[in-house]
Amino acid sequence: MYGHMNASLMTPGHPQFMARGDGARIWDVDGNCYIDLMCGWGPVILGRRHPDVDRAARRALEDGDCLNGATPAMVELAELLVETIAHADWALFAKNGTDATTLCLTVARAATGRRKILVANGAYHGAAPWCTPRTAGVVAEDRAHLIYYEYNDVASVQSAAQQAEDDLAAIIVCPVRQDTSRPQELPHPDFARALRMLCDTTGAALVMDEVRCGFRLDLAGSWESLEVRPDLAAWSKALANGYPLAAVTGSDWLRSAATEVFATGSFWFSGFALAAALATIRLLGAEEALPRMHAAGDRLRAGLANQAASHGFAITQTGPVEMPLLAFADDPDHTVMRVWAELAACHGVYLHPTHNWFLSTAHTDAVIDEILDRTDRAFNDLSNRLQ
Ligand SMILES: Cc1ncc(COP(=O)(O)O)c(C=O)c1O
């Protein structure tokens, strides 16, 4: 098993092979049902088997796929993204988040004629040699022009920019610090503004990696509330409610560079995922989806805080409520968290011990209450085990 879907990275109580999903629930091949808090690690934002999204994808498939060219859905989706995303003047499409983050850097280099990229230490931007967290098969040259900075540390990003001298092509950043196995960190407004200013003064591109946060926090862009807009953004995961799709959006000054870059893949033009994305983005805009996810996140966070306190556990809950993460105090190796996550799985809640979770609009109040009923039992079992 490869990558983050290797169940051994979770707990012995988590299944490796899954059979099906519906709404907020998934079933493993042994027939066990779980209320899901991982949403396929982010893509599922409207719940699994959403009828409108699936109908749109099915209709596109009925017209055939792999048609030697794009369907009109590609143009409609590009127009919808340009209408929806504040910084976007154009869009192009790919398949995975890694395609999109890598393309952003290529476009920035093509536009500026420069080489250096500033990257936050510990940030995940995908599985290509320039960014994979494991270095097997990676050679130093793959990362020769990367300079690392600390998230939320203005001095460190300024010092990294100085090291780049007049060769700075881009700064890449995630809307929230979500490095695995550490608490999530929201961006300090000063940090966000400093990145924008550094790019403005040096002529580099600010690249926002929206692959994980995109469309859950703000449809117009995750840093809209901070009034900081990127020049390029990478999107995937929630874009098409689970259908395989990624996008790059960009500002006008990067349009001709994006046109010059040779960007393609055998499956990048297939119509069904584009049709699914059109339905997904329209529904997210029309159904008050984001406030509903936020309210569900508040309900979950408050419930977990009460339960932990009533069972005598000190916990922290970090990150946006729509993308929660719980950790136990004094548990640096996540030993207690792993036991609790396994107990939650035994009680039918699928959540991750060290990676942020994801909510969808299928997480209604009733579903959140059902989750809380089960996590309460997990806290109870944990306190019995630790006695
Ligand atoms: C922030 C971020 N960027 C990029 C990626 C890479 O996306 P993909 O796995 O679709 O290539 C991920 C995937 O988890 C991610 O969370």
Q: What is the pLDDT of residues 342-360, one digit of tens each?
A: 999 999 999 999 999 999 9
Candidate of 98, 180, 184, 185 to mutate for ligand 1, largest count of ligand atoms within 8 Å of Cβ: 98
DSSP, residue by residue, 132-189: -SS-TT--GGGGTTEEEE-TT-HHHHHHHHHHHGGGEEEEEE-SSB--TTS--BPPPH
- pLDDT of 287: 82
- C-alpha 213/C-alpha 125 separation (Å) is 12
- pLDDT of 240: 98
CA of 237 to the centre of ligand 1 (A): 8
The 3-state DSSP class for residue 249 equals: strand
- Reference 4, options 120, 95, 124, 99; nearest CA is 124
Q: How do residues 288-327 score in pLDDT, each as one tens digit?
A: 999 999 999 999 999 999 999 999 999 999 999 999 999 9
Q: What are the beta bridge partners of residue 172?
A: 119, 207
The H or E element containing residue 20 is: strand 18-22
**Contact in structure between 340 and 384 (CB atoms under 8 Å):** no
Q: What is the DSSP letter of 48?
A: B
CA of 172 to the centre of ligand 1 (A): 13
**Contact in structure between 379 and 311 (CB atoms under 8 Å):** yes
CA of 68 to the centre of ligand 1 (A): 28
Q: What percent of the chain has pLDDT over 90?
A: 98
Q: How do residues 24-56 score in pLDDT, each as one tens digit?
A: 999 999 999 999 999 999 999 999 999 999 999
**What average pLDDT does the segment 109-117 reach?**
98
Q: Which two tokens stand for residue 33?
A: 């049902």
- C-alpha 232/C-alpha 242 separation (Å) is 23
Hey, whose CA ends up nearest to atom 5 of ligand 1?
A: 126
- pLDDT of 387: 84
Residue type at position 23: G
Q: Which two tokens stand for residue 179?
A: 């490095």
Q: What are the beta bridge partners of residue 26?
A: 21, 34
Candidate of 237, 352, 358 to mutate for ligand 1, largest count of ligand atoms within 8 Å of Cβ: 237
Hey, whose CA ends up nearest to atom 3 of ligand 1?
A: 125
How buried is residue 358: exposed, middle or buried, by Cβ count under 10 Å (0-12/13-18/19+)?
buried
Hey, whose CA ends up nearest to atom 7 of ligand 1?
A: 97
Q: Which two tokens stand for residue 117?
A: 């990229």
Residues with CB under 6 A from ligand 1: 41, 96-98, 101, 124-127, 174, 209, 211-212, 236
**What average pLDDT does the segment 188-199 reach?**
98
CA of 74 to the centre of ligand 1 (A): 22
Reported pTM: 0.98
CA of 144 to the centre of ligand 1 (A): 22
Q: How do residues 128-179 score in pLDDT, each as one tens digit?
A: 999 999 999 999 999 999 999 999 999 999 999 999 999 999 999 999 999 9
**Contact in structure between 358 and 216 (CB atoms under 8 Å):** yes
DSSP, residue by residue, 310-361: HTT--EEEES-TTS-EEEETT-TT-HHHHHHHHHHHHTTEE--SSS-----T
- C-alpha 195/C-alpha 299 separation (Å) is 34
Please name the residue that has the structure tokens 């270095």: 135
- Reference 178, options 216, 224, 227; nearest CA is 216
Which ligand 1 atom is at minimum distance from the Cα of 131? 4
CA of 125 to the centre of ligand 1 (A): 5
The pLDDT mean for the chain works out to 97
CA of 132 to the centre of ligand 1 (A): 10
Residue 244's pLDDT band (cuts 50, 70, 90):
very high
**Contact in structure between 333 and 262 (CB atoms under 8 Å):** no
Residues 6+ apart with CB under 8 A from 302: none
Beta strands, E only, 32-134: 33-36, 90-94, 116-120
- Reference 215, options 186, 249, 183; nearest CA is 249
Residue type at position 335: T
